[in-house]
Amino acid sequence: MESKGISDAFRAFMTEAPAHAQAWAQLVSGLAEASALDRKTHALAYLAVLAALRLESGVPFHVQAAKQAGASREEVVSAILVGLAPAGHGVTQALPAALAAYDAE
Protein backbone atom coordinates (compact mmCIF):
# COMPACT_ATOMS: atom_id res chain seq x y z
CA MET A 1 0.00 0.00 0.00
CA GLU A 2 1.14 3.52 -0.74
CA SER A 3 1.84 5.47 2.44
CA LYS A 4 1.23 9.01 1.13
CA GLY A 5 -1.33 10.83 3.27
CA ILE A 6 -1.73 7.94 5.68
CA SER A 7 -2.10 8.90 9.34
CA ASP A 8 0.40 7.78 11.97
CA ALA A 9 -2.31 5.61 13.54
CA PHE A 10 -3.05 3.79 10.28
CA ARG A 11 0.66 3.45 9.52
CA ALA A 12 1.12 1.81 12.95
CA PHE A 13 -1.82 -0.50 12.20
CA MET A 14 -0.16 -1.55 8.93
CA THR A 15 3.24 -2.05 10.57
CA GLU A 16 2.23 -3.71 13.82
CA ALA A 17 -0.65 -5.83 12.55
CA PRO A 18 0.13 -6.57 8.89
CA ALA A 19 -2.21 -9.55 8.61
CA HIS A 20 -5.11 -7.49 9.93
CA ALA A 21 -4.16 -4.58 7.67
CA GLN A 22 -4.08 -6.88 4.65
CA ALA A 23 -7.51 -8.30 5.56
CA TRP A 24 -8.84 -4.75 5.99
CA ALA A 25 -7.41 -3.71 2.61
CA GLN A 26 -9.04 -6.69 0.91
CA LEU A 27 -12.39 -5.81 2.48
CA VAL A 28 -12.16 -2.17 1.42
CA SER A 29 -11.07 -3.12 -2.08
CA GLY A 30 -13.90 -5.64 -2.42
CA LEU A 31 -16.49 -3.12 -1.27
CA ALA A 32 -15.21 -0.53 -3.74
CA GLU A 33 -15.34 -3.08 -6.57
CA ALA A 34 -18.90 -4.04 -5.63
CA SER A 35 -20.03 -0.42 -5.76
CA ALA A 36 -22.20 0.69 -8.67
CA LEU A 37 -20.59 4.14 -8.35
CA ASP A 38 -17.75 5.22 -10.58
CA ARG A 39 -14.36 5.74 -8.88
CA LYS A 40 -14.66 9.51 -8.55
CA THR A 41 -18.19 9.44 -7.15
CA HIS A 42 -17.24 6.66 -4.75
CA ALA A 43 -14.18 8.62 -3.54
CA LEU A 44 -16.24 11.78 -3.03
CA ALA A 45 -18.96 9.87 -1.15
CA TYR A 46 -16.26 8.32 1.04
CA LEU A 47 -14.98 11.80 1.90
CA ALA A 48 -18.49 12.90 2.82
CA VAL A 49 -18.80 9.98 5.24
CA LEU A 50 -15.36 10.61 6.77
CA ALA A 51 -16.29 14.25 7.38
CA ALA A 52 -19.70 13.37 8.85
CA LEU A 53 -18.10 10.82 11.20
CA ARG A 54 -15.32 13.30 12.12
CA LEU A 55 -12.59 10.92 10.95
CA GLU A 56 -10.28 13.68 9.77
CA SER A 57 -7.14 11.52 9.92
CA GLY A 58 -8.28 9.62 6.83
CA VAL A 59 -9.12 12.72 4.83
CA PRO A 60 -5.70 13.44 3.24
CA PHE A 61 -5.34 9.92 1.85
CA HIS A 62 -8.88 9.86 0.48
CA VAL A 63 -8.60 13.37 -0.97
CA GLN A 64 -5.64 12.12 -3.00
CA ALA A 65 -7.72 9.13 -4.15
CA ALA A 66 -10.53 11.48 -5.21
CA LYS A 67 -8.07 13.77 -6.98
CA GLN A 68 -6.50 10.82 -8.83
CA ALA A 69 -10.01 9.78 -9.88
CA GLY A 70 -10.53 13.22 -11.45
CA ALA A 71 -12.23 15.19 -8.67
CA SER A 72 -11.74 18.93 -8.69
CA ARG A 73 -10.91 20.96 -5.60
CA GLU A 74 -14.47 22.33 -5.63
CA GLU A 75 -15.92 18.81 -5.78
CA VAL A 76 -13.84 17.77 -2.77
CA VAL A 77 -15.09 20.78 -0.79
CA SER A 78 -18.68 20.07 -1.84
CA ALA A 79 -18.37 16.40 -0.88
CA ILE A 80 -17.19 17.32 2.60
CA LEU A 81 -20.00 19.82 2.99
CA VAL A 82 -22.70 17.34 1.86
CA GLY A 83 -23.15 16.37 5.49
CA LEU A 84 -23.47 19.94 6.77
CA ALA A 85 -27.26 19.86 7.19
CA PRO A 86 -27.67 16.33 8.62
CA ALA A 87 -24.39 16.07 10.56
CA GLY A 88 -23.80 19.68 11.52
CA HIS A 89 -20.95 22.14 11.47
CA GLY A 90 -18.48 19.45 12.59
CA VAL A 91 -17.98 18.43 8.96
CA THR A 92 -16.08 21.67 8.42
CA GLN A 93 -13.31 20.30 10.63
CA ALA A 94 -12.26 18.16 7.66
CA LEU A 95 -11.86 21.13 5.32
CA PRO A 96 -8.34 22.27 6.34
CA ALA A 97 -6.86 18.78 5.94
CA ALA A 98 -8.76 18.23 2.68
CA LEU A 99 -7.60 21.49 1.13
CA ALA A 100 -4.01 21.02 2.26
CA ALA A 101 -3.98 17.49 0.80
CA TYR A 102 -5.53 18.62 -2.47
CA ASP A 103 -3.13 21.54 -2.86
CA ALA A 104 -0.06 19.49 -1.91
CA GLU A 105 0.57 18.45 -5.51
Q: CB within 8 A of 3, min separation 6: which ones?
A: 11
3 in a domain, yes or no?
Answer: no
Residue 1 has pLDDT above 70, yes or no: no
38 in a domain, yes or no?
Answer: yes
82 in a domain, yes or no?
Answer: yes
Total domain count, the chain: 1
Residue 3 has pLDDT above 70, yes or no: no
pLDDT tens column, 33-88: 999 999 999 999 999 999 999 999 999 999 999 999 999 999 999 999 999 999 99
41 in a domain, yes or no?
Answer: yes
Which residue range is the domain that position 46 belongs to?
A: 8-103
The structure's pTM equals 0.87
47 in a domain, yes or no?
Answer: yes
CA nearest neighbour of 6 among 77, 69, 62: 62
Task: Identify the pLDDT of residue 6.
Answer: 85
68 in a domain, yes or no?
Answer: yes
78 in a domain, yes or no?
Answer: yes
1 in a domain, yes or no?
Answer: no
